[in-house]
């Protein structure tokens, strides 16, 4: 699975500031080194936020533990609950953030930061109606608060109450005809209604009023995507990133577009920047994991899936993508199956029907495993055959070297023989010898067998010609046979007093038969 198609609409919400980022006092440890004073625990959390690592990363997990400890030690510590909620958001745990923001509001009913943060988290979790109630109360208490009306508009859009959102836009523009937020939100309203041309008109108006607003360019990019104009969308996303390099929505959107086009390097850069702005973003981590898979950084991708599942244990897509990573890329089929089995047995407690797609995925993993095992068996067989072939070729090569030596010796000794030359033995032998020597000198082992055929063919032919050469040893007598006493090729000395026996009967010269009569 290559990843979900993602289209994110910028909410243009203000990131709530963390409380108490000044220079804290050192915490006072308890008897065993544990912080027991809630203010000290709070200060320790702030210290962690103000102490990034060398690579710029911040230990939000550590900071959260300190703020949560402070809130636990003093349940009505509103600021501790708020900061615990804020760090929870950074870790991508929205339900936990919601819980802390509610506790902050219970501790301090007028805590505006906590109210705004809770409404934002509710909106992002699809609880638009609840966030509308929070923002509506702020507007009712202060009708001239245009910022509150803008956030109310956003909540109304999330709750799909589009007509009410347009009504709020009218109220805002009556007081401030050039209110950028109103036009931005109107663009989102018309986008949500599928009226893309009106969405673009409102976005253009907002862009005219606030040329440097990255959120507006991002919204326009999303609208262009819905209008199937991807090149224009890409340009808008790139402009948004140029205005705000860490803009979460623009980076996420461009990252998904880059993934769909196979540009994993650009996608990786986009998702990394998105995670700088929102370290706990599930979408950012999922996108980055797919991009890393594309760049073959499988280990880091696997770790990201683990982080996602740790934060969102029921994320089906994360289970499926993690299983795909190990099935198709790392070839760790056991791990892929374990991930899917965990989804069935632990996440869903075995309450998934047989028609669920997860079982099809599990069967696919098993089929992939069987195919891979067969491929490995075939590769092993080929490897063994290659080794045996190489061994035979080496044996043939060694045999060829010996034959080359033999052929060279024959030609050196009998190459000048008239009969050898006349019958073409010398020429053919030299040709074969030259080819064989070239193979031996170049150590072309794989050609030894082919050349050996020529050597084996020419040597017997030369052996047949050798006896016809003057003073040659009988056919079959090799150069290595030691001559008997009397010298090379000498006959045995006759016994004393014996007459020399002629080699063959010959008529006296004067009685020889004339040549034309044919002789004997």
The per-residue pLDDT for range 209-236, each reduced to its tens digit, is 877 788 888 988 988 888 889 999 999 9
User: What does the pLDDT read at residue 143?
Assistant: 87
For residue 29, report the phi and psi dihedrals to the nearest 5 degrees. -75, 155
pLDDT confidence band for 353 (50 / 70 / 90): confident
Pick the range with the lowest mean pLDDT from 56-65, 309-318, 505-514. 505-514
Q: How far apart are the first and last CA of the chain?
A: 98
Res. 23: pLDDT tops 50 = no
User: What does the pLDDT read at residue 156?
Assistant: 87
Residue range 21-30: mean pLDDT, rounded: 43
Q: Which residues contact 83 (CB under 8 A, 6 or more apart)?
A: 18, 19, 20, 42, 45, 46, 63, 67
User: What does the pLDDT read at residue 200?
Assistant: 85
User: What does the pLDDT read at residue 5?
Assistant: 43
Q: Which residues contact 90 (CB under 8 A, 6 or more apart)?
A: 58, 60, 278, 279, 280
User: What does the pLDDT read at residue 276?
Assistant: 87
**How far is 254 from 284, CA to CA, in rounded Å?**
11
Which residues on adjacent β-strands are paired with residue 29?
35
Res. 415: pLDDT tops 70 = yes
Supply the DSSP symbol for 29.
B
pLDDT (tens digit per residue) in 77-117: 999 999 999 999 888 888 999 999 999 989 998 888 888 88
User: What does the pLDDT read at residue 470?
Assistant: 63
What does the mean pLDDT of the chain come to? 82
pLDDT confidence band for 34 (50 / 70 / 90): low
- Chain position carrying tokens 């890329």: 329
- Chain position carrying tokens 């745990």: 93
Residue range 27-41: mean pLDDT, rounded: 64
Structure tokens given for 246:
């860490």
Q: Are 60 and 79 in contact (CB under 8 A)?
A: no
Measure Cα distances from 405 to 180, 371, 408, 432, 477 in Å: 95, 51, 5, 12, 17
User: What does the pLDDT read at residue 367?
Assistant: 93
| Nearest to 273, CA basis, from 250, 296, 307, 304 | 250
Residue range 128-157: mean pLDDT, rounded: 85
Pick the range with the lowest mean pLDDT from 251-255, 297-301, 483-487. 483-487
Res. 462: pLDDT tops 70 = yes
Q: Are 218 and 195 in contact (CB under 8 A)?
A: no
pLDDT confidence band for 471 (50 / 70 / 90): low
| Nearest to 85, CA basis, from 106, 99, 66, 71 | 99
Res. 21: pLDDT tops 50 = no
Higher confidence at residue 514 or residue 138? 138
**How far is 178 from 155, CA to CA, in rounded Å?**
21
Helix (H) or strand (E) holding 181: helix 180-192
Quote the percentage of the chain above a pLDDT of 70.
83
Res. 25: pLDDT tops 60 = no
User: What does the pLDDT read at residue 35?
Assistant: 58
Residue range 292-310: mean pLDDT, rounded: 94
Pick the range with the lowest mean pLDDT from 10-24, 98-112, 124-138, 295-309. 10-24
The domain limits of the chain are 391-468
**How far is 435 from 439, CA to CA, in rounded Å?**
6
User: What does the pLDDT read at residue 503?
Assistant: 42
pLDDT confidence band for 126 (50 / 70 / 90): confident
């Amino acid at each position: 699975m290559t990843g979900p198609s993602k289209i994110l609409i910028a909410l243009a919400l203000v990131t709530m500031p963390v409380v108490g980022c000044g220079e804290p006092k050192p915490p006072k440890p308890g008897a065993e080194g544990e912080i027991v004073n809630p203010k000290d625990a709070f200060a320790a959390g702030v210290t962690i936020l103000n102490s990034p690592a060398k690579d710029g990363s911040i230990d939000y997990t550590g900071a959260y533990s300190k703020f949560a400890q402070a809130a636990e030690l003093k349940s009505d510590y509103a600021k501790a609950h708020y900061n615990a909620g804020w760090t929870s958001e950074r870790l991508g745990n929205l339900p936990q953030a919601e819980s802390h923001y509610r506790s902050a509001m219970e501790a301090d009913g007028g805590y505006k930061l906590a109210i705004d943060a809770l409404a934002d988290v509710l909106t992002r979790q699809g609880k638009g109606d609840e966030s509308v109630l929070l923002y509506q109360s702020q507007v009712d208490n202060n009708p001239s608060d245009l910022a509150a009306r803008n956030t109310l508009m956003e909540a109304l859009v999330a709750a799909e109450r589009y007509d009410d959102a347009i009504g709020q836009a009218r109220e805002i523009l009556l007081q401030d005809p050039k209110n950028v937020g109103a036009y931005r939100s109107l663009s989102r309203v018309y986008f949500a209604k599928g009226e893309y041309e009106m969405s673009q008109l409102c976005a253009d108006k907002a862009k005219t009023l606030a040329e440097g607003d990255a959120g507006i360019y991002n919204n326009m990019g999303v609208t262009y995507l819905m209008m199937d104009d991807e090149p224009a969308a890409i340009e808008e996303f790139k402009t948004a990133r140029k205005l705000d390099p860490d803009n979460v929505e623009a980076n996420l959107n461009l990252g998904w577009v880059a993934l769909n086009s196979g540009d994993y390097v650009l996608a990786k850069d986009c998702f990394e920047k998105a995670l700088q702005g929102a370290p706990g973003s599930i979408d950012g981590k999922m996108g980055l994991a797919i991009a890393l898979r594309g760049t073959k950084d499988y280990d880091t991708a696997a770790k990201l899936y683990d982080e996602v599942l740790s934060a969102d244990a029921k994320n089906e897509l994360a289970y499926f993508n993690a299983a795909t990573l190990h099935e198709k890329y790392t070839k760790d089929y056991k791990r892929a199956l374990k991930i899917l089995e965990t989804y069935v047995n632990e996440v869903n407690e075995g309450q998934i029907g047989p028609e669920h797609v997860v079982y099809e995925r599990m069967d696919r993993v098993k089929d992939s495993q069987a195919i891979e095992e067969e491929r490995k068996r075939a590769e092993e067989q080929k490897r063994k055959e290659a080794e045996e072939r190489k061994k035979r070729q080496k044996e043939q090569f060694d045999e060829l070297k010996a034959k080359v030596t033999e052929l060279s010796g024959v030609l050196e000794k009998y190459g000048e023989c008239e009969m050898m030359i006349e019958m073409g033995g010398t020429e053919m032998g030299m040709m074969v010898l030259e080819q064989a020597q070239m193979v031996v000198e170049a150590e072309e082992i794989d050609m030894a067998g082919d050349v050996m055929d020529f050597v084996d063919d020419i040597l017997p032919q030369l052996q047949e010609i050798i006896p016809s050469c003057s003073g040659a040893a009988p056919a079959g007598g090799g150069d290595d046979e030691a001559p008997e006493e009397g010298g090379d090729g000498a006959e045995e000395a006759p016994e004393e007093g014996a007459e020399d026996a002629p080699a063959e009967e010959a008529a006296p010269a004067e009685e020889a038969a004339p040549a034309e009569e044919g002789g004997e």
